[in-house]
Amino acid sequence: MADSTSTPLTVFCKLCLSHNAERDTSALHACGCVFCTQCLQHYVGLAVREGGGALITCPDLACQGAEGLSDSEVACYVSEGQAELYQRLKFEKEVQLDPSRAWCPVIDCQAVCSVVPGVEGTPTPLPCQACHAIFCCGCSQPWQDEHVCSSSQPLTQASSEDRCSADTPIKQCPMCGVFIERNQGCAQMLCKNCKHTFCWYCLQNLDGDIFLRHYDRGPCRDKLGHSRASVVWNRMQVVAVLVGVSITMMVTFPFLLLASPCILCCIFKPCHGKNRKKKKTKRSPKSAPADD
């Protein structure tokens, strides 16, 4: 007699590496890849918070689909507030990459203005239709008589002291040009768009400055925004991590050195053929037929 109860279908999720019931999974519209719904919710939510409005693609790296998730599909996996945040970040990124549009630099306005290119790409005054402010379309500074655009000038003309004394709450990332707002806190900035680390005051590259020595000297000295004790504590933590990694390498290196012949033997298997030859030689020869 056949069993009336049937086993429910399960789908393997590449994100959590587990099998899930088919009712607990969801398929992406663009590529058709199937994941468990809970994993997609976590993935899309993280992409909204950390992506800066970038296109959210399939989480499977082996997927050949080039299209990303639509706005309606993103809204299915995140809350209403996160969906609105994604729409805003996406619009801001589109304006930033569009040379025919620019943001009004007035903080209370932040309207989108249409840019009229000047002769041979020279900066021109750009009036805002919302707040009627006039600013430079190149450097977003207020337009004045005999205005000189700072974006068209080499960086060597502006001294580091002048840049450190600037107290503007909004600046552009020196690597990708994304607008970043800083109200208070640490002067070591991390761009969420390109992951570039730089100093807020002088825009110097801090990608390799793990000990924050930049704020020990020069015009940005003691301008990190943290107490001296917290800076020392941060450096002690970095040193502890480096020492821990070094000790681990020193301890494991002798064992790896001793085990290297066995590892090489397992990889190349030089004795595999010899074992076969030995087995063949050990076989007893066939007995010859007896004479009549």
Helical H runs in 121-271? 160-165, 228-268
186 catalytic per annotation: yes
**Element holding 74 (H helix, E strand):** helix 71-77
Query: In whole angstroms, what is the distance from residue 194 CA to residue 69 CA?
Result: 21
**What residue ranges do the domains of the chain occupy?**
10-59+68-94, 164-226, 229-268
Query: In whole angstroms, what is the distance from residue 140 CA to residue 267 CA?
Result: 61
pLDDT of residue 37: 92
Mean pLDDT within 175-184: 73
Residue 2 has pLDDT above 80, yes or no: no
**Residue 284 main-chain phi, psi, to 5 deg:** -75, 140
* CA-based radius of gyration for the chain: 32
Residue 166 has pLDDT above 50, yes or no: no
> Bridge partners of 20?
11
Q: Which position has the token pair 């203005």?
A: 113
10-59+68-94 is classed CATH 3.30.40.10? yes
Mean pLDDT within 121-137: 81
pLDDT of residue 158: 39
Instruction: Give 104's pLDDT tier (boundaries 50, 70, 90).
Output: confident
Mean pLDDT within 184-206: 82
Mean pLDDT within 266-286: 55
pLDDT of residue 149: 72
Mean pLDDT within 16-35: 89
Question: For the chain, what is the mean pLDDT?
Answer: 75
Mean pLDDT within 10-23: 88
Mean pLDDT within 94-121: 76
Mean pLDDT within 237-266: 78
36 sits in the region (left: phi over 0; alpha: psi -120 to 50; else beta) called: beta
Q: How many C-beta neighbours within 10 Å does residue 145 have?
A: 4
Mean pLDDT within 272-287: 52
Of these residues, 16, 176, 186, 271, which one is catalytic? 186
Instruction: Give 227's pLDDT tier (boundaries 50, 70, 90).
Output: low
| pLDDT > 90 fraction of the chain, expressed in percent and rounded | 6
pLDDT of residue 1: 44
Q: Determine which of 28-32, 179-183, 241-245 has the lowest per-residue pLDDT on average.
A: 179-183
Residue 280 has pLDDT above 70, yes or no: no
Residue 162 has pLDDT above 50, yes or no: no
Residues 6+ apart with CB under 8 A from 233: none
Per the model's pLDDT, the better-predicted residue between 17 and 230 turns out to be 17
Instruction: Give 277's pLDDT tier (boundaries 50, 70, 90).
Output: low
| Amino acid occupying residue 70 | S
Instruction: Give 36's pLDDT tier (boundaries 50, 70, 90).
Output: very high
Backbone CA torsion sign across 21, 27, 33, 38 = negative
Cα 61 to chain center, whole Å? Answer: 15
Mean pLDDT within 51-63: 83
Residue 75 has pLDDT above 80, yes or no: yes
